[in-house]
Amino acid sequence: MYSIENKRIRKAIYVDCEKVLFQIGCDNDSCLTVTILTNKVTERIKKKVEEYVIAWFDLKRDITPFYHLLEQQDETSYMVKYFYGLRLIGVPDLYEVVCWCIIGQLINLGFAHQIKRNIIDRFGESIQYQGKKYYLFPKPEVLYQASSEELKTMKLTSKKAECLLEVSRLFTAGAISQKQMELLSDLESKQQLLLNIKGVGIWTTNYSLLKCLKQPDCIPYGDAVLVNALIKHQIIENKNDIDGINSFYNRFPEWSHYLTFYFWRSRFTICLLLE
């Protein structure tokens, strides 16, 4: 979780086993300023926070080639103007994003955020700074100690509660880890590592790989926001037109993740353009 205060983002993360709170500001159009608000600022902490921010906002990627591809398609050419500079905002922690996907399956975004908030308030640690608490997403070994009944009191279904516990068990045992995932060379192997978990399907898998690893060739088929955007852009007629989705995405080799993110963003813009 993060908070925005005075046009600055504050975020608490773990650096190894240490809780660290940092702030991101933008004093001009050309750079971000990152300030560590708690802890003694060591080189190790500075390095880890820098790595986190770079991963979070995908800052090392040159997205110019993606804009060239957008300009070539009538359906997406407007995005270069309206979304210029927008980078794929990720979730740098694999465990957190998999849990988020499980929580958010088949419910609206507002309800999903409330459930996640409840879980964080109950099981997550926090940092106190200037009279305010900044929460961190629970570690897998902590959530694994919860009972299914306790999780259900937070508005999770029985199936989701059991799936969250299973994911937490696997991450706690080291059967799945982000480092392990990053070492796998091909998409199919990465997908299979998550698909082997009972209750995890292709949408959760592809969404997690897209948001955490910035996997370029992942399409979260069945994603309601993506499907609606593709229909509004007259790229497909209905959600079952997988061939139509693939045909359009094939025009953006190595940029499927960014195309999806821009279509997600378009839901705030396309209605205005169509008026």
pLDDT of residue 275: 46
Full-model pTM:
0.92
Task: Write down the H helix ranges in the chain.
Answer: 43-57, 64-71, 78-82, 94-104, 109-123, 140-143, 148-152, 158-173, 178-183, 187-195, 202-213, 224-232, 242-249, 256-266, 270-274
Give the separation between CA 118 and CA 120, rounded to whole angstroms: 5
The pLDDT confidence band at residue 117, using thresholds 50, 70 and 90, is: very high
Range in 39-43, 144-148, 236-240 the model is least confident about: 39-43
Look at residue 267 in the predicted model and tell me its pLDDT: 85
The residue behind tokens 């995405």 is 249
CA end-to-end distance (rounded Å), the chain = 35
Mean pLDDT, residues 1-30 taken together: 89
For residue 154, pLDDT over 60 is answered with yes
Q: Give the orientation angle of helix 94-104 with respect to helix 158-173, to 10 degrees.
A: 170
Q: Residue 27 above 80 pLDDT?
A: no
Taking residues 7-14, report their average pLDDT: 94
Report d(CA 5, CA 92) in Å as an integer.
Answer: 22
- Per residue in 223-254, pLDDT tens? 999 999 999 999 999 999 999 999 999 999 99
Q: Quote the CA–CA distance of 1 and 121 in Å, as a whole number.
A: 11
Predicted confidence (pLDDT) per residue in 156-183, tens digit: 999 999 999 999 999 999 999 999 999 9
Q: Is the pLDDT of residue 271 over 80?
A: no
Phi, psi dihedrals of residue 35, rounded to the nearest 5°: -125, 125
Q: CB under 8 Å to 215, separation ≥6 — which residues? A: 187, 190, 206, 209, 257
Give the C-alpha separation, 136 to 85, whole Å: 28
Q: What is the pLDDT of residue 7?
A: 87
Question: Is a pLDDT exceeding 50 seen at residue 86?
Answer: yes
Is the pLDDT higher at 105 or at 27? 105
Residues of the chain above pLDDT 70, percent: 98
User: Average pLDDT for residues 3-17, to the nearest whole number?
Assistant: 91
pLDDT band at 273 (very low <50, low <70, confident <90, very high): low
pLDDT at 143 > cutoff 90: yes
Per-residue tokens: 242: 């997988």
Whether pLDDT at 69 is above 90:
yes
The greatest distance separating any two alpha carbons of the chain, rounded to the nearest whole angstrom, comes to 56
Amino acid at 150: E
Residue type, position 37, single letter: L
Distance separating alpha carbons of residues 45 and 30, to the nearest angstrom = 24
What is the average per-residue pLDDT within 205-214?
A: 96
Q: Which residues contact 16 (CB under 8 A, 6 or more apart)?
A: 48
pLDDT at residue 58 above 90? yes
